[in-house]
Amino acid sequence: MLGRAVVDAAARREHDVMGATRAELDITDADAVRRAVCELCPDAVVNCAAYTDVDGAESDRATAQAVNGDGAGRVAAAAAAAGAAIVHVSTDYVFDGSKDEPWLESDPTGPLGAYGATKLAGEIAVAQANPSHAIVRTAWLFGAGARNFVDTMLALGAQREEVSVVTDQIGCPTWTGHLAGALVALAERPSQTGVHHLAGAGSCSWNELAVEVFRQARIDCRVRPATTADFPRPARRPAYSVLGSERVGALVLAPWRQGVAEYLATRVAA
């Protein structure tokens, strides 16, 4: 989902860009990663690969660690060996959700589950493996190419008169089309190292996001309030994972509602 958007964004900016699917390059294969990066000899590598099954990670932490932790470090090390910068994508789930104001880059991490813990391990591995690194924490991604909340709501709204969606998880919905351009911009600026928070501007609950999706798509489906406790899941979710930035001159993404509008427009065009 994100990788395709990054390839498109890089091509629009007239970069020579090579994308690889998991079938073409498995980042848990150290030799394959080294060969691929060495052969391409790129100026920058953007790592969009991740194990993103939040609940699945609770019962399969080894696989999540192999991709999100060890694999991330492996890609960063291969980039460093080739003299390339690394832009690595991380998550708001490295935080425990206990704040009631936006999380900043310097805030202490405290993941609640295996997914967030393995993504945090990846951040550490990337920083250690490549001094020219930009670690980008983002949140609540939606876009073309993979299952996501917006598509799920559109499908449910076409089938049902009402849905129940939680009101007690707050975050920043982020369209891959907006995030991708920012990732490419960071790849062009290898001096901007460290952690960056990049997510759709503003914040909302999953419930509010569903309401907005139906409003914009003109779908007549009621959205009833629910709580996290109403939908027990193997992994705990942070209650408040809104991302903010303390970086001077930080990149800022468009508001999340605009992201929804632009994504829906791309679906109509397609």
Q: In angstroms, rounded to a whole number, what is the distance separating the alpha carbons of residues 244 and 8?
A: 26
Cα dihedral across residues 248, 249, 250, 252: positive or negative: positive
Chain centre distance of CA 161: 31
Catalytic residue among 51, 93, 115, 240: 115
Residue 115 is among the residues annotated as catalytic for this protein: yes
3-class DSSP assignment, residue 262: helix
Tokens coding 252 = 């800022």
Phi, psi of 165 (to 5 degrees): -135, 145
Tokens coding 59 = 């019962």
Q: What angle do CA 158, 228, 179 make, to 5 degrees?
A: 65
Asked if 112 and 235 count as a contact pair (C-beta separation under 8 A), the reply is yes
- Pairing label, strands 170-171, 204-205: antiparallel
Q: Which residues contact 34 (CB under 8 A, 6 or more apart)?
A: 78, 81
3-class DSSP assignment, residue 172: coil
Indicate which residues carry an active-site annotation: 115
